[in-house]
Amino acid sequence: MAPQQRKPHVCRNPDLIRGVGKYSRSKMYHKRGLWAIKAKNGGAFPKHEKKAVAAAPTEKPPKFYPADDVKKPLVNKRKARPTKLRASITPGTVLIILAGRFKGKRVVFLKQLTSGLLLVTGPFKINGVPLRRVNQSYVIATSTKVDISGVNVEKFDDKYFGKKVEKKKKKGEGEFFEAEKEEKSLLPQEKKDDQKSVDAALIQSIEAIPDLKSYLGARFSLKAGMKPHELVF
């Protein structure tokens, strides 16, 4: 039998009530086999010699005592984790975005990033929503799922979506007088290619389901008589 498979050990002294064991001290002495250990060791309990304690270097009293007692902050062992993902949101779920520029748009969920935000895409050709991050709280998860196995989303993380930091230009007097050029930051070709590659496989699986393409292209809105708390999404 493999040494790892052991039956969980039942406690030797079960509780009758909390704080009161079934067996007395003398009975437990016998049960634990302390008499056998003593007999093996010639009548006395085996003792280890104490390890020689190295003489600690004599500590000098500190030169400086702070005037006020400074409180030490309490220890905090919490770990930063991405937000808990709702059970209804799995890769390939169709989500309805509720706020922002794309409110009402139905969009495909790709994966959750380490910051907790959801990576989402329109696909761009269908409804104009690019690869984008969206917060879980601003989203309704529908029960419609799309097959997402052909899509590779490994390379996308929060840094990909972060704002680009521009190198600080030394401001000379001349530049103050020039009209500030509003440079519209052009979308780098690399991002456009990423969008196309992600969407290519997605659009194929979307077209496999009838009406799904027009569904994703349409916006969601509440009509008369629709009660959100009674709707099944």
Partner 1 sequence: MPFKRYVEVGRVALVNYGKDYGKLVVIVDVIDQNRALVDAPDMVRGQMNFKRLTLTDIKIEIKRVPNKKTLIAALEAGDVKNKWENSSWGRKLIVQKKRASLNDFDRFKIMLAKIKKAGVVRQELAKLKKETA
Q: How far is the CB of 144 from partner 1 (least distance, A)?
A: 4
Q: How far is CA 154 from the centre of its chain?
A: 16
Stretch that binds partner 1, among 140-148, 153-161, 165-173, 177-185 (CB under 8 A): 140-148
C-alpha 76/C-alpha 65 separation (Å) is: 27
Q: Is residue 141 helix, strand or coil? A: strand
Task: Tell whether residue 212 is a contact of partner 1 (CB under 8 A).
Answer: yes
Q: 54 vs 60, 61, 189, CA distance in Å?
A: 18, 20, 68
C-alpha 164/C-alpha 10 separation (Å) is: 61
Stretch that binds partner 1, among 39-47, 51-59, 176-184, 214-222 (CB under 8 A): 214-222
Among residue numbers 102 through 121, which ones bind partner 1 (CB under 8 A)? 106
Q: How far is the CB of 101 from partner 1 (least distance, A)?
A: 21
C-alpha 89/C-alpha 139 separation (Å) is: 10
Residue with tokens 């009161």: 20
Task: Tell whether residue 233 is a contact of partner 1 (CB under 8 A).
Answer: yes
Task: Tell whether residue 215 is a contact of partner 1 (CB under 8 A).
Answer: yes
Q: Please, how many CA atoms are within 13 Å of residue 90, restricted to the half-sphere of its CB?
A: 9
Stretch that binds partner 1, among 4-12, 18-26, 148-156, 225-233 (CB under 8 A): 225-233
C-alpha 106/C-alpha 94 separation (Å) is: 6
Task: Tell whether residue 4 is a contact of partner 1 (CB under 8 A).
Answer: no
Task: Tell whether residue 143 is a contact of partner 1 (CB under 8 A).
Answer: yes
Contacts with partner 1, residue ranges (CB under 8 A): 94, 96, 106, 142-144, 211-212, 214-215, 218, 220, 230-233
